[in-house]
A and B are shown apart, each in its own frame.
Chain A
Amino acid sequence: TQLLEQSPQFLSIQEGENLTVYCNSSSVFSSLQWYRQEPGEGPVLLVTVVTGGEVKKLKRLTFQFGDARKDSSLHITAAQPGDTGLYLCAGHAGGTSYGKLTFGQGTILTVHP
């Protein structure tokens, strides 16, 4: 069974602070996605990374895929209250269909004004 360990589970910070969320596994993933989910809604895709060592930036968000494709991180610079939500990492383990995602447990981020 391929597992994704996401940390921390909860993060409560003040507006303007920086933060990093980690997603780790003992298995190799052929691709990894980060999603953000609002209460009662479906996850919204933020980014897909497929190459080991890849770094992608989306405004104040920076995503990195580990060289060995076993881990990933999401870094938010100068967090804003609008960043509040549940952040999920999800990956396709090697050899499985792209239609089957394994999810981390998620990080609930609260940014206080």
Chain B
Amino acid sequence: KAGVTQTPRYLIKTRGQQVTLSCSPISGHRSVSWYQQTPGQGLQFLFEYFSETQRNKGNFPGRFSGRQFSNSRSEMNVSTLELGDSALYLCASRDSGGGKETQYFGPGTRLLVL
């Protein structure tokens, strides 16, 4: 099976702009989670989607939002970008059946906000 894919891999934006990142999970996986990774804070949970519904949300401001489509692909959006939003954004998918405890990560989208 193909792994988790994320697009784009790299992105440069300026403060105040908005950005949309895309994630395609492993075929058959219905759960998609998003994480932000920074040198100072490490990996932090943003939100999880399952069957087009948000199941969990981390402690991030409302500028961070997401959605999931019927084919399980997911997008996350960040509005009114701030310098501190520069990070590696990681998407992970998991099977809801056997092995449901395990998440598989994509390569990430590196976002730089200038």
Which A residues are closer than 8 A to B by beta carbons?
Answer: 30-31, 33, 35, 40-45, 48, 50, 88, 90, 92, 96-106
Contact = CB atoms under 8 A, between A and B. Distances in A.
B34 to A, nearest CB: 10
6 contacts: A35-B105, A42-B4, A42-B6, A48-B101, A88-B43, A90-B43
B108 to A, nearest CB: 5
B103 interface: yes
B44 to A, nearest CB: 8
A105 to B, nearest CB: 5
Interface string B76-87: 000000000000
Q: Which 5 A-B pairs have the closest CB atoms?
A: A99-B48, A42-B105, A31-B101, A103-B43, A100-B56
B101 A100 contact: no
Interface residues of B, number: 30
B55 A33 contact: no
Given A98-B94, A99-B50, A99-B55, A43 B31 contact: no
Contacts of B56: 96-97, 99-100
Given A90-B43, A100-B33, A103-B42, A43 B102 contact: no
